[in-house]
Structure 1
Amino acid sequence: MYLCASMKELKFLNKYLHKYRGRLLLGLIITVVAAVFKLVVPMKIGDSVNIIEQKINGEITDMALVSSGIMKNILLLFGATILAALFTFVMRQTIIIVSRKVEFDLKNEIYAHYQKLSLGFYKQNRTGDLMNRISEDVGKVRMYVGPAIMYSTTTITLFIVVISYMFYKAPVLATFAVLPLPILSIMVYRLSIAIHKRSTVVQQYLSKLTTFTQESFSGIGVIKAYGIEPRTNAEFVELSDGSKQKNIDLVKVNALFFPLMMLLIGVSNILVIYIGGTRYINGEIPDLGTIVEFLFYVNMLTWPVAIVGWVTSMVQQAEASQKRINEFLQTEPAIQNRVSSEILIKGKIEFKNLSFTYDDTNITALKNVSFEVNPGETLAIVGNTGSGKSTILELIGRLYDIENGNLFIDNTEIKDVHLKSLRSAIGYVPQDAFLFSESIEDNIKFGKEDATDQQVIDAATLASVHNNIIGFTNGYNTILGERGITLSGGQKQRVSIARALIKNPKILLFDDCLSAVDTETEEEILNNLHKISEEKTTIIVSHRVSSTINADKIIVLEEGKIIQRGTHNQLVNTEGYYKELYIKQLTEKEM
């Protein structure tokens, strides 16, 4: 049943072939029926030639018998051709639809797996390569599940039916007719190895091209600002030239197939004419119709034999693509949900002697950090760039797992907290506000899909962005460009804040998300947050002292260590980083 049994990587698809086995079996049965009807055509043409030969030899003298015999064969030919075409059409519809369903299932499985993988995975793999595997590679695999299986089935069926009948009708002539086929099999095997190797390289280059163009389009503003369009274009030309060369190498191998097929089929035709004609003259073949019939059979096998090369190429390319897909599907998510039952998060957070090192860079971001935040409290974190502030927020969202020290959520080790419960209880506003290419309303609703229009307006008002939105021509229905490029930096940050607030979460995490707004807007947002955060745990990462003044607790980080802690009043009256930052920013404001 499973044609991929001999292909190691393609065995992954067996579960899909099993899922749609009913449709596939129906397609295979129809294929056999279509092949049988195709067999009728040469038989009836041979019979017609025999009738004409008998008339010429005087074996049939009645012209009416000749006409009726030929007319009967014409009607049978017409009927067989119509039925063969009909069954071929149904066969194509059945198997190709299965291939599309498998493509749909495979893309969904890959996408679902992508979402389970940790943040570290996305730091190590480029977006273009991820996109290529879910699009181009899946497309190659679909060609295997659909056209490759369909044409393979047609070829095998025709070979069995046609060659069996040929040996039944004239064994010696059939032997000479199929003599070139073993040579063909050996050549196909040798060429398929080369195709497999070159297909893998082609897909790798395609991933590089996709990655390069994706990054270029995303960073087009930087490219234009620095005037490096010529250099970027030269790099693209160099990369595409390499891709072109690898594709040419693959095409050169593929190009050997069809001339080889036609040569061998031509040899078969010559052998049929020569051997058949000789044996007919010698009386070893009783009628001329057999030779004509065999010529039709040999040429009927031309397309199936020629398609062997194409099918082989498709299978080899599909295996190379499926191998690339399997590499990611076999990647285990670094963050595993170890708990089966969901819980209600209250919001208490405790870091206890926690140290953390990033695997990809080997940078130690936190060193023996300890603090506690209770529900209803606001913690502010300040420090220089690279001091570990953002890492604390990422660990609370369990974007990374902890190896040294402890992180407790409601007095429970974070690894023992249900992952969905944890993340559903968090409203996270990242430092780099990311908005999707949807309407402003839809972007805010990412925080709560079933939110009402009034809830969207309320969240935007709390984030001090409502007045900006209603000033747009289409208001909340304004469609944003890629990554929210339609909005200014401050507007993007505030829409991102609205997206977090509409969830009404137990834990609010703000990662320097007010850096692009003016001080008046910042103060308005902070006052709004103060009103709604009475029962919430709020952590604000900021470079501005103005964002930390009303916090219940403040910690100062330096190179991953807590060097100061206390309230605003305590820290401004203590010599150290916080007081220096406060005086510096106060002076800048006065100036």
Structure 2
Amino acid sequence: MKVFFELGWFFKERKKQYFMGISLLIIVAILQLVPPKIIGVVVDEIGAGNLTGGSLVKWLSVLAASALIMYVIRYYWRIMIYGSSMTLAKKLRADLFRHFTSMAPSFYQKRRIGDLMAHATNDVSAVQQTAGNGVLTLVDSITTGGFVILAMAITIDWKLTLIALIPMPFMALSTNYYGKLLHKHFHHAQAAFSDLNDKTQESITGIKVMKTFGQDKEDIEDFKRLSDDVVQKNIRVAKVDSLFDPTISLVVGISFFLTIVFGAKFVVAGDMTLGDLVAFTSYLGLLVWPLLAFGLLFNIMERGSASYDRIRNLLAEKMDIQDKEDALAIRPQGNLAFNIQSFTFPGEETPSLKNIQFILKRGETLGVVGKTGAGKTAILKLLMREFDGYDGNIIYGGHAIGDYETLKLREAIGYVPQEHFLFSASIYQNIAFTNPEATEEEVINAAQIAQIHDDILHFTKGYNTIVGERGVSLSGGQKQRISIARALLMKPEMLILDDSLSAVDAKTEEAILAALKGARTDATTIITSHRLSALIHAHLIIVLHEGTIVEKGTHDVLMALRGRYFEMYQLQQLEQLVERGGEPS
């Protein structure tokens, strides 16, 4: 019953609907008592020879009326109770989705996508069943069972009623034990389904890589192993579930046996009529469903309880980044002062950044270079406030970035990541994603700056071309340029290109940078790149090595130092010379 108390907040929200639904269920339970009683009366009238045509029509009319009323009532209680359970499912899915979208990237480093999808599908469905079928079986088993027992005891014979109920304690103990087992096994089954869901999502997403390396058979075997695990754990659930009906049927069978044995004695002794015994057995037949419903109730409750525990644990995870109560509700703009003494990613021991200090004036361009793992992306993640907990401060527009509302801070930053994600929609919709109210002219202008406009015009349907899931139909360079256009359309105060020109040729890269320089004269730009040609015109370049700045200055200043930057630049020039066959540009 714990899960019903845990869902009490929802039952209070929908108290009107549940009250009406439960009231209608009680009326049905009362009306169900009419047919057995009428059958008993008719049997006695037949036995006494008093049954007439008029009497038979009267009793048949009562039966027909009660059946019609129950038909109508059953329609409406389903709307009230099942409609409310669907509302709960909708609310839980909305809460989960809202929670997913509000969590920081670190949350997704710990959680698997397939597992999150399982929470939003299977687990929500199990909780919905609890608020629907669970409430139905609880009320129906108590009201119908209670009224039937009262009718048996009051209108027929209380002694025979007590005798018929002798096996019931055995059923209560057994179903309680089965319920505990079911809760444990269903929790394991849901976890196994999450693993399978995650595997399926990863395999479909990485199908190209898998086929390229010829890992089809291995991946299928891995999927089969996880699928077998899901089957085995669900079979354990089914084995426990299968114990309910036989146990209840055994109890009902014993009750019928006791009723016939002792009821026959009472009839022979003259303590009750044959019609009463027929009515009593009819009532006992009505008691079968409440008992089965009681077993089903344990099944539904334990499944719902296990799933609701999983959902609550997920929703209970705190957001890593939270706004202050008096956070500034304005988009930051102005100079950027970065002063970080030390920053370590959660779960790691070695600092990713040490002694990072630089100032970038509004309208200037910052270049960030360094080998993989040097700390380039870490600087960007701190700037976008994906992580807190560092030693130092980041001042943007005269205020620490933590003083702004996180949403406003990120609205001011147009971020183009290394891994480009495009939606399975048209190119126009992908570009306009950051500003759905943008005009067609603004979308085209952003595409022209990103040097993707001409490519789009050559597509079959132009801007209405569907790119496919994750932009599967586009080249890497095209995806990069569409991502840049998407970021530009939000008119950011600061544009961040995180190695976002790696898939375009040098000529296109130069054209993009020139267009950005002309279109964003008063806006700040940060570019991280392994290709130094993209940073030559930057106002400031910082060179990172093992999380710290080893060189800082303009391109000319760094070349004059003849240090790490100079070596990297010379090496890249040599590589380009080799690619051209040894001919100077």
> Same fold by TM (over 0.5)?
yes
SS at structure 2 position matched to 1:148: helix
Quick check: 1:155 aligned with 2:141?
Answer: yes
* Bigger Cα displacement from structure 2, 82-91 vs 129-138: 82-91
Q: Which of these residues, 112, 130, 151, is aligned with residue 126 of structure 1?
A: 112
Contact kept in structure 1, 2:374 and 2:544, CA below 8 Å: yes
Q: Which of these residues, 87, 96, 102, is aligned with residue 88 of structure 2?
A: 102
Q: For 1:1-80, what aligned pairs fall within 5 Å after superposition?
A: 6-7=2-3, 11-55=5-49, 60=50, 66-80=52-66
Quick check: 1:300 aligned with 2:294?
Answer: no
Q: Which of these residues, 573, 576, 580, is aligned with residue 586 of structure 1?
A: 573
CA distance, structure 2, for counterparts of residue 460 and residue 353 of structure 1: 36
Q: Which of these residues, 342, 345, 350, is aligned with residue 329 of structure 2?
A: 342
Change (3 A) 1:341 1:368: closer
Aligned to 1:551: 538
Quote how far apart the aligned CAs of 1:460 are: 0.9
CA distance, structure 1, for counterparts of residue 570 and residue 100 of structure 2: 47
Q: Which of these residues, 269, 272, 277, is aligned with residue 291 of structure 1?
A: 277
Quick check: 1:357 aligned with 2:359?
Answer: no
Aligned to 2:385: 398
AA at the equivalent of 1:393: L
Contact kept in structure 1, 2:416 and 2:497, CA below 8 Å: yes
Q: TM-score, normalised by structure 1?
A: 0.95
Quote how far apart the aligned CAs of 1:340 are: 4.1
SS at structure 1 position matched to 2:323: coil
Aligned to 1:252: 239
CA distance, structure 2, for counterparts of residue 368 and residue 453 of structure 1: 45
Q: Which of these residues, 497, 520, 523, is aligned with residue 536 of structure 1?
A: 523
Aligned to 1:139: 125
Q: TM-score, normalised by structure 2?
A: 0.96
AA at the equivalent of 2:512: I
AA at the equivalent of 1:273: I
Aligned to 2:307: 321
* Bigger Cα displacement from structure 2, 333-342 vs 518-527: 333-342
Q: Deviations over 1:345-384 (max 9, x none)?
A: 1142111143211113334221110001111110011111
SS at structure 2 position matched to 1:573: helix
CA distance, structure 1, for counterparts of residue 374 and residue 334 of structure 2: 25
Contact kept in structure 2, 1:347 and 1:507, CA below 8 Å: no
Contact kept in structure 1, 2:340 and 2:353, CA below 8 Å: no
Change (3 A) 1:345 1:324: same
Identity %: 37
SS at structure 2 position matched to 1:584: helix
Q: Deviations over 1:319-368 (max 9, x none)?
A: 11111111111111010111344023114211114321111333422111
Change (3 A) 1:561 1:438: same
Q: For 1:551-570, what aligned pairs fall within 5 Å after superposition?
A: 551-570=538-557
CA distance, structure 2, for counterparts of residue 580 and residue 298 of structure 1: 92
* Bigger Cα displacement from structure 2, 196-205 vs 87-96: 87-96
Q: Deviations over 1:189-240 (max 9, x none)?
A: 1110110110111011011101111111111111101111111111111111
SS at structure 1 position matched to 2:203: helix
SS at structure 1 position matched to 2:456: helix
Contact kept in structure 1, 2:422 and 2:470, CA below 8 Å: yes
CA distance, structure 2, for counterparts of residue 12 and residue 546 of structure 1: 60
CA distance, structure 1, for counterparts of residue 331 and residue 346 of structure 2: 31
AA at the equivalent of 1:104: K
Aligned to 1:462: 449
Q: Which of these residues, 477, 482, 485, is aligned with residue 464 of structure 2?
A: 477
CA distance, structure 1, for counterparts of residue 191 and residue 402 of structure 2: 37
Change (3 A) 1:12 1:410: farther
CA distance, structure 2, for counterparts of residue 464 and residue 347 of structure 1: 28
* Bigger Cα displacement from structure 2, 200-209 vs 439-448: 439-448
* Bigger Cα displacement from structure 2, 24-33 vs 240-249: 240-249
Quote how far apart the aligned CAs of 1:482 are: 2.0
CA distance, structure 2, for counterparts of residue 249 and residue 318 of structure 1: 17
CA distance, structure 1, for counterparts of residue 160 and residue 461 of structure 2: 79
CA distance, structure 2, for counterparts of residue 160 and residue 359 of structure 1: 57
Aligned to 1:333: 319
Quote how far apart the aligned CAs of 1:472 are: 1.4
Contact kept in structure 2, 1:431 and 1:513, CA below 8 Å: yes
CA distance, structure 2, for counterparts of residue 20 and residue 80 of structure 1: 29
SS at structure 1 position matched to 2:83: helix
Aligned to 1:421: 408
Aligned to 1:571: 558
Instruction: In structure 1, list runs of 5 or more residues that go unmatched.
Output: none
Q: Which of these residues, 497, 506, 517, is aligned with residue 519 of structure 1?
A: 506
CA distance, structure 2, for counterparts of residue 509 and residue 105 of structure 1: 36
Contact kept in structure 2, 1:47 and 1:73, CA below 8 Å: no
Quote how far apart the aligned CAs of 1:515 are: 0.2
CA distance, structure 1, for counterparts of residue 256 and residue 548 of structure 2: 84
Contact kept in structure 2, 1:52 and 1:66, CA below 8 Å: no
CA distance, structure 2, for counterparts of residue 115 and residue 136 of structure 1: 20
Aligned to 1:407: 394
* Bigger Cα displacement from structure 2, 535-544 vs 351-360: 351-360
Quote how far apart the aligned CAs of 1:441 are: 1.4
CA distance, structure 2, for counterparts of residue 224 and residue 90 of structure 1: 54
SS at structure 1 position matched to 2:511: helix
Contact kept in structure 1, 2:37 and 2:279, CA below 8 Å: yes
AA at the equivalent of 2:402: K
Q: For 1:420-439, what aligned pairs fall within 5 Å after superposition?
A: 420-439=407-426
* Bigger Cα displacement from structure 2, 513-522 vs 468-477: 468-477
Quote how far apart the aligned CAs of 1:587 are: 2.5
Quote how far apart the aligned CAs of 1:105 are: 0.6
* Bigger Cα displacement from structure 2, 345-354 vs 212-221: 345-354
Contact kept in structure 1, 2:559 and 2:566, CA below 8 Å: yes
Instruction: In structure 2, list runs of 5 or more residues that go unmatched.
Output: 581-585
CA distance, structure 1, for counterparts of residue 280 and residue 186 of structure 2: 38
Change (3 A) 1:362 1:11: farther
SS at structure 1 position matched to 2:352: strand
Q: Which of these residues, 207, 217, 224, is aligned with residue 230 of structure 1?
A: 217
**RMSD after superposition:** 1.3
Quote how far apart the aligned CAs of 1:520 are: 1.0
CA distance, structure 2, for counterparts of residue 72 and residue 94 of structure 1: 33
Quote how far apart the aligned CAs of 1:462 are: 0.9
Contact kept in structure 1, 2:327 and 2:404, CA below 8 Å: no
CA distance, structure 2, for counterparts of residue 363 and residue 310 of structure 1: 54
Quick check: 1:207 aligned with 2:194?
Answer: yes
CA distance, structure 2, for counterparts of residue 438 and residue 476 of structure 1: 10
CA distance, structure 1, for counterparts of residue 390 and residue 367 of structure 2: 25
* Bigger Cα displacement from structure 2, 237-246 vs 553-562: 237-246
CA distance, structure 1, for counterparts of residue 338 and residue 315 of structure 2: 34
Aligned to 2:269: 282
Contact kept in structure 1, 2:327 and 2:405, CA below 8 Å: yes
AA at the equivalent of 2:15: R
* Bigger Cα displacement from structure 2, 87-96 vs 136-145: 87-96
Aligned to 2:583: none
Contact kept in structure 1, 2:18 and 2:81, CA below 8 Å: yes
CA distance, structure 2, for counterparts of residue 588 and residue 235 of structure 1: 42
Quote how far apart the aligned CAs of 1:422 are: 0.4
